[in-house]
């Protein structure tokens, strides 16, 4: 199960239950105004909401992964928000729901009994909890979603443009690789995939979308979910098959080990799609000599690169982390989580004293161009079946992550272009109707 962490991240730790003693913070973030602020609430309108606080659940696999990114994001946001006065005067309490990888359903039942909503969480086996979440009418402002039963499920709001139920998120990247950047790689694409229920579905979708983009998969291999002690047989197979472009699904430390063997064999691929969970300093350190020898790429979709502090929202995010969690690392799951927290807070603030699940969901889904204050490209939350609009590609090196030459055409992103909708038969996202409910049951 170790490689399942590739589907959702986390550097994790404790929840945030103490109000920050720091001076009152600004209520604005990026181009958003009054995200949090004071008030004088008097009612306790629903579960998890009193006149003094709002109890919110944060799902994480921290007990298994020992990674804290979504919990760190919860701490940074809630400390900042509470220092600014909370949400209309109600203090926000983030309750860590640690699945320890396999206890998704148990933690979901806990959340169903206690939490107002779920915000900014991620669990690799999140499909195990979606039926219970819908049965108890628990909305989810997700950071990262893994399993098809949960991707695009009802009462789920994805703030950042990252996960799509029916569209290939990396189709623009693949067309750029095959048609512009490395056309000779199109006929020799390899896939290394973990033998797990999460990544096997991702691999099947990848084969479909690679073919649609004009590529040919010539090597497609599973590896044990617990990892591999010796990657030599896989590296030899990649070389013997003449693979020129490689997609890797799994834990990035395992990819670094594979690349070390490939580099030692003096076999250089045209490109390696490391997937954007590898977008961090730890991966570059693990790569060692392969950081400059191999060509590791990541597609951030519509997310602003962390290094780009010319963007006010990204600069402010770094400042908040320095203030409230100076030892934590900003990662893709953390950024997605923070956007979800911002969306939740804005929606909840609009509800005033009468804060209910119905009100917060309706307010959030009225956002037709949500950018998290400028952390990512606009995301239409009023659309049930959105398609990806933009992508941005970074390249790893021993000096860090740098923009690739992918011909951006809009504020550092490449937007427009062809979209690809899956045609294969994949598990469908769960709906309220599947559990005998409807949106009219939401109160």
Q: Which is nearest to 404 in space by CA: 258, 322, 307, 299?
A: 299
| Mean local confidence (pLDDT), 253-265 | 97
Question: Within a 10 A sphere around the Cβ of 132, how many other Cβ atoms?
Answer: 18
What's residue 11's pLDDT? 33
Residue 15: pLDDT over 70: no
Tens-place pLDDT, residues 355-400: 999 999 999 999 999 999 999 999 999 988 888 999 999 999 999 9
pLDDT class for 150, splitting at 50, 70, 90? very high
What's residue 21's pLDDT? 40
Residue 154: pLDDT over 50: yes
Average pLDDT, the chain: 92
CA distance 140 to 148: 15
pLDDT class for 299, splitting at 50, 70, 90? very high
Q: Which is nearest to 347 in space by CA: 381, 319, 304?
A: 381
Q: What percent of the chain has pLDDT over 90?
A: 84
Q: For the chain, first and last CA: distance in Å? A: 37
Tokens 């804290």, located at residue: 68
Residue 7: pLDDT over 70: no
| Number of residues that this document lists for the chain | 443
What tokens does 397 get?
């090196």
| Mean local confidence (pLDDT), 183-187 | 98
Q: What percent of the chain has pLDDT over 70?
A: 94
What's residue 25's pLDDT? 57
User: What domains does the chain contain, in order, with CATH numbers?
Assistant: 2-165+308-385 (3.40.50.2300), 171-304+387-415 (3.40.50.2300)
| Mean local confidence (pLDDT), 74-103 | 97
Question: What burial class does residue 127 get, using C-beta atoms within 10 Å of its C-beta: 0-12 exposed, 13-18 middle, 19+ buried?
Answer: buried
What's residue 22's pLDDT? 43
Tens-place pLDDT, residues 91-138: 999 999 999 999 999 999 999 999 999 999 999 899 999 999 999 999
Do residues 153 and 134 lie in contact, with contact meaning Cβ atoms separated by under 8 Å? yes
The pTM for the full model equals 0.91
């Amino acid at each position: 199960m170790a490689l399942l962490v590739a589907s959702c991240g986390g550097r994790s730790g404790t929840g945030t239950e103490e109000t920050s003693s720091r001076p009152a913070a600004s209520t604005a973030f990026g181009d958003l105004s009054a995200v949090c602020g004071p008030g004088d609430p008097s009612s306790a309108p629903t579960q998890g909401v009193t006149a003094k606080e709002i109890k919110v659940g944060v799902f994480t696999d921290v007990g298994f992964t020992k990674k804290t990114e979504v919990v760190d994001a919860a701490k940074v946001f809630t400390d900042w928000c509470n220092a600014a006065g909370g949400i209309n005067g109600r203090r926000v309490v983030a309750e860590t729901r640690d699945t320890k990888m396999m206890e998704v359903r148990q933690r979901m039942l806990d959340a169903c009994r206690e939490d107002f909503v779920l915000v900014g969480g991620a669990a690799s086996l999140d499909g195990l909890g979606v039926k219970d979440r819908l049965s108890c009418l628990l909305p989810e402002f997700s950071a990262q979603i893994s399993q098809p039963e949960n991707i695009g499920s009802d009462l789920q709001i994805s703030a950042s443009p990252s996960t799509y139920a029916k569209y290939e998120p990396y189709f623009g990247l693949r067309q750029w690789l095959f048609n512009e950047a490395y056309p000779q790689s199109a006929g020799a694409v390899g896939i290394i995939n973990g033998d797990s229920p999460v990544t096997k579905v991702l691999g099947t979708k990848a084969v479909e979308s690679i073919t649609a983009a004009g590529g040919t998969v010539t090597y497609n291999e599973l590896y044990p979910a617990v990892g591999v002690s010796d990657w030599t047989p896989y590296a030899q197979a990649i070389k013997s098959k003449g693979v020129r472009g490689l997609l890797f699904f799994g834990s990035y430390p395992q990819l670094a080990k594979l690349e070390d063997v490939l580099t030692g064999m003096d076999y250089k691929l045209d490109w390696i799609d490391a997937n954007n969970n590898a977008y961090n300093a730890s991966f570059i350190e693990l790569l060692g000599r392969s950081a400059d020898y191999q060509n590791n790429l990541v597609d951030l979709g519509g997310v602003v690169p962390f290094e780009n502090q010319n963007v006010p929202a990204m600069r402010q995010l770094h400042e908040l982390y320095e203030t409230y969690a100076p030892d934590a690392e900003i990662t893709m799951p953390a950024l997605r989580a923070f956007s979800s927290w911002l969306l939740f807070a804005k929606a909840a603030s609009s509800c005033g004293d009468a804060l209910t699940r119905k009100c917060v969901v309706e307010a959030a889904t009225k956002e037709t161009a949500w950018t998290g204050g400028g952390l990512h490209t606009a995301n239409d939350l009023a659309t049930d079946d959105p398609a990806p609009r933009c992508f941005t590609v970074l390249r790893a090196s021993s000096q860090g992550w740098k923009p690739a030459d992918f011909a951006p055409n809009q504020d550092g992103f490449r937007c427009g272009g062809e979209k690809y909708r899956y045609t294969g038969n994949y598990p469908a996202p769960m709906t309220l109707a599947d559990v005998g409910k409807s949106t009219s049951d939401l109160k």
